[in-house]
Structure 1
């Protein structure tokens, strides 16, 4: 018998099987897929397929609210988990999963160190103060005007039924990218005007400037990082793997950093040359440039680039995916129950927005109750941030979770815990038997139960919650409010297929569109 025939099985047992009985022996009684007991291969495979949210949801439906989805990873499909796993002062850290998302220096999103995250968040949060966010509307409005011009052009060439046919997913991407480009880098990427996915990128310092597909690059980056985050030991060798998913994804990470680098460089160079227009802008990058840390020093250029890249990713990916999904579900809700959604929404918008307004203003839409119930219901059903954000138990005493059924489970130090937003948002025990239906009125204040308030989690919770959620909320109100005030639309597809990277992206949203009279 050769040494290989002995060594390989022995190594496999020691590496994968022994920890099952020793280090993580206390998790043996938690049910889950067989392969997940020994490694992260099961969950990483589904991440590679872009369907981790669906696989985890199926596992919960089969095994119950606690599911072991990795050798040391337990998914908790219980609304109480949101306020315990992600709460302030619970002694948890972001899992090593986030290290796969670092390009350059860590940003506020992927910094794992608690002290460093606090420092970064204080700086970044200043850029999202109420006063700062209000000043952003001017930049949003300029881009929305360009967006409406393009949609008017499309609507002007209708088919025989009076409606032009258009896929709203790319157009939601273009407007989201241009707005965040304007806010985070000082100028839109020009996607709306060009009608295509295109950005400038600089892959090496002082290297040539090339054109890249920004949204496609962002999608690939999210998909490969979400997969490698579950198999970190593979990351150094990923470019050599035969599956091109990995080599293309790693190139996307480099390209995305290059998009941020050239945009930040252009802006800072303009400021250094005393460009009056750049110095007078009130936007995210301006706030970051002028901010100082606890030591009184400003951010260095590499840190500025990382933070601007974080805003690009968070501000474009989530808003484009969410706005597209909301459009789909509003139209699907009207299709399923004619006369119950669109007439109410358009009557509310018509009352708030004057006829001579091309686009909505934040003042006009920020307090419209039915519009915001539609937005909330769209975010619940689609769940753009669908995956369970992993946190690692660091307390020497471990952590005991008490579920809604009052049963308690103890998790030792080193256990990774997450709460899958998609599954919690689709729980019939929380939301009722019509959980899969688009029903904005479930968000009426007097109808929301304590469990539902606890379960609704579109922007995460606690100290790591989305710092830009007020900006995202403003954008969604302006995009959705403008669109349904100005246009009549009909849904031209059945079902909304989605792929998941870090966030969940609709594949398409084909509609018929025409100007309202």
Structure 2
């Protein structure tokens, strides 16, 4: 009877992979699956101890065996598919990459993925398998069909890391992307860009003056370029001057951004990223970054009139976005604005951040 139960639960695990997990995108529900598994475990132990007077240890053992059997069947089916049936198996790459995308994450402990990728491409060619569902491609012929106007491909589930906060950049819906792009378009019109140039020129002059102040001595240009990029981002995005170039001191937010981006540097599978960033001591850096973004958005909304007057009526990027969302219902507006705020900060600062 016990053997039959284990065989049935093992078969159920394999069937759940073939009929459900293999057919649908399940990365958004990892927490729910863990909760259900825990609930079933606890409920079964309670039933055995209360209704059947089974002592605690045997109840736990009796419950654990079929659960492990189910998971064994599920992962056995998963491994068979990944090792022998996955269409990506025809592409070259480390054999371990077939088994799990975590293989690639384990290679990135030193945040030197670009060097690791170069080594892989030097050894395997322009297309390399780096995960169970991931390829790294450096063939320029792939640019147009992948990223062009008439691209046949769509964004992968990696872009769901921050969902429901989907920005213009991270949304996987082409229709929603086009809609969000129209919201952003006025912020990058010819007139808006000319207004931004005036601001950037002012910060450029300050940067040059700060470097000149060293009178030909050694200068840590990485530090000063980082201060420049954050000051420019703050002014263009929120109409806010962090004053780093003037003071020569780093704003506390600089550390938050580096710490907050670290989980992304590991290229974790989406399901794992979403779980780990919700665990306080593991996702603390990412949550601090999220909190900073919310604070900057709140500051911009609360100081809308002050910012507008200080810029002679010229709008910063967030000003254009706030204007576009003014008729949107508040719950939806907050989600959209938070997503756009994260995009502005990351695109405006992290893309020019000098780390080496």
Pairing partner for 1:261 from 282, 289, 294:
294
CA distance in 2, matches of 1:43, 1:100: 17
Q: List gaps (5 residues or longer) in structure 1.
A: 157-162, 199-212, 322-504, 507-517
Contact 1:105–1:302 (CA<8 Å) still a contact in 2? Answer: yes
Are residue 303 (structure 1) and residue 303 (structure 2) matched? no
User: Any idea what the Cα deviations from partners look like across 1:5-29, whole Å, max 9, x if unmatched?
Assistant: x84765543233333323x1x2222
Asked if the contact 2:82/2:98 (under 8 Å) is kept, the reply is: no
Q: 1:19 aligns with which of 62, 69, 82?
A: 82
Partner of residue 282, structure 1: 315
Q: TM-score, normalised by structure 1?
A: 0.51
Q: Equivalent residue for 1:476?
A: none
Aligned residue in 1 for 2:17: none
User: How big is each residue's C-alpha offset from its partner over 1:22-44, in whole Å with a ceiling of 9 and x where there is no partner?
Assistant: 3x1x2222210111012102222
* Alpha-carbon distance in 2 for matches of 1:297, 1:265: 17
Considering only aligned residues, what root-mean-square deviation do their CA atoms show, in Å?
3.2
Structure 2 residue matching 1:282: 3-state secondary structure: coil
> Would the alpha carbon gap of residues 305 and 281 (structure 1) be closer, same or farther in structure 2, given more than 3 Å must change?
farther
Structure 1 residue 231 and structure 2 residue 231: aligned? no
* TM superposition shift of 1:310: 1.0
Distance 1:81 1:91, change over 3 A: closer
Q: Deviations over 1:447-483 (max 9, x none)?
A: xxxxxxxxxxxxxxxxxxxxxxxxxxxxxxxxxxxxx
Aligned pair count reads 292
1:267 and 1:278 in contact (8 A); partners too = no
What is the CA distance between 1:239 and its match in structure 2?
5.4
Q: Pick from 256, 261, 269: which aligns with 1:217?
A: 256
Show CA shifts across 1:376-420 (max 9, x none): xxxxxxxxxxxxxxxxxxxxxxxxxxxxxxxxxxxxxxxxxxxxx
State the TM-score, normalizing by the size of structure 2.
0.72
The aligned runs of 1:203-214 (5 Å cut-off) are 213-214=252-253
For residues 329 and 275 of structure 2, the distance between their equivalents in structure 1, rounded to whole angstroms, comes to 37
Q: Name 1:192's counterpart in structure 2.
A: 245
1:113 is the counterpart of 2:173? yes
- In structure 2, distance between residues paired with 1:277 and 1:265: 18
Name the larger-Rg structure. Answer: 2
Q: How does 1:14-163 map to 2 (within 5 A)?
A: 14-22=77-85, 24=86, 26-102=87-163, 105-153=165-213, 155-156=214-215, 163=216
Conservation of the 8 A alpha-carbon contact between 1:36 and 1:71: yes
CA gap 1:305/1:10 in 2 versus in 1, 3 angstroms: closer
Shift of residue 70, structure 1, vs aligned partner = 1.1
- Structure with the larger RCO, 1 or 2 (CA within 8 Å, 6+ apart): 1
Task: Structure 2: state its 5+ residue gaps.
Answer: 4-60
Taking the aligned partners of 1:145 and 1:11, their CA distance within structure 2 comes to 62
Could you say which structure has the higher helix fraction? 2
